[in-house]
Amino acid sequence: MDCARQELLIAAVARLLEGSRHVAVGASSPIPGAGALLARSLSGDAMRVSVLGSRTHNFFTDGGRELFDCAGQGRIDAFFLGGGQIDGEANINLVGIGAYPQGKVRWPGSFGSAYLYFVVPRVILFREEHSPRVFVQKVDFVSAPGVSPPNVHRPGGPSALLTGRALFSFDKANRRFRLESVHPGETVDGIVAATGFAFEVPAAVPTTPAPDRDALALIRGRVREEIAETYPQFAAATWGGDTGARMEVPA
């Protein structure tokens, strides 16, 4: 049995969420959403998952405002953030490229990213594209800082960075990412070349494990049906036909 790259990422997200009680997923996040739903299934439905934009898998009745209230009360264990740029200290940029405010490229904006980055204990950075234009030495604008001074009360912050090519953990004390695994078909040298900031590379870097047969069955069954309610185009593109390059799943 084999799996598509999207399914590998969904399984990786689910592993990062193990032990969470309540996971919230923002807008335009089909892979994190599917990963959270898989984690819920694997937990025996012991995990609460709130997918913004969903009518079925969403405990919030007042959208983002209720999400912020819940997070501020310490009732959300994990959330996902991305950025047009992400640097080696886990700063994210959602504003644009160039010197603010006369930047040459303008993105949608920070919204509540800085607030959630400070109060949610386990923030997973997610970006499928893994290239030097995304992972830069220093972001052009800090929408949300990855670390804060010791005298700043901050229960939340980055725990991991998952991309379409690799998985990193983040060491807050050293303000540095550590390469945890590379996805099938990738190499450490390739990840170094595609990343604009320095990071720790252990002596042995494993390959990101593919979902086992049970997890893959859930992804292609229950999770597929659940995420299709919010992201029908993603579900159709991922499972409705050819899923593209495929990878072996261990027996």
The pLDDT value recorded for residue 245 is 42
In a domain? residue 180: yes
> To which residue do tokens 């893994």 refer?
130
Percent of the chain with pLDDT over 90: 83
> Tokens in use for 75?
């009732």
Within this chain, do residues 180 and 236 fall inside the same structural domain, yes or no? no
Can you give the length of the chain in residues? 251
> For residue 190, with 0-12 CB atoms within 10 Å meaning exposed, 13-18 middle and 19 or more buried, which class applies?
middle
- By residue range, what is the domain housing residue 159? 82-203
CB 78 within 8 A of CB 17: yes
Total domains in the fold of the chain:
2
Within this chain, do residues 28 and 112 fall inside the same structural domain, yes or no? no
Give just the sign of the alpha carbon dihedral 147, 197, 94, 37. Answer: negative
In a domain? residue 248: no
Within this chain, do residues 39 and 145 fall inside the same structural domain, yes or no? no
pLDDT tens profile 128-186? 999 999 999 999 999 999 999 999 999 999 999 999 999 999 999 999 999 999 999 99
For the chain, first and last CA: distance in Å? 8
Within this chain, do residues 63 and 174 fall inside the same structural domain, yes or no? no
Give just the sign of the alpha carbon dihedral 167, 169, 170, 174. Answer: negative
Cα–Cα nearest to 158, from 179, 141, 144:
144
> Tokens in use for 233?
């185009």
Within this chain, do residues 103 and 67 fall inside the same structural domain, yes or no? no
Is 2 or 99 the better-scoring residue by pLDDT? Answer: 99
Q: How far, in Å, CA of 85 to CA of 122, rounded? A: 20
Within this chain, do residues 100 and 86 fall inside the same structural domain, yes or no? yes
Q: Is the pTM of this model over 0.95?
A: no
Within this chain, do residues 120 and 176 fall inside the same structural domain, yes or no? yes
CB 183 within 8 A of CB 162: no
Q: Which residues contact 24 (CB under 8 A, 6 or more apart)?
A: 49, 50, 52, 67, 70, 71, 76, 78, 79, 120
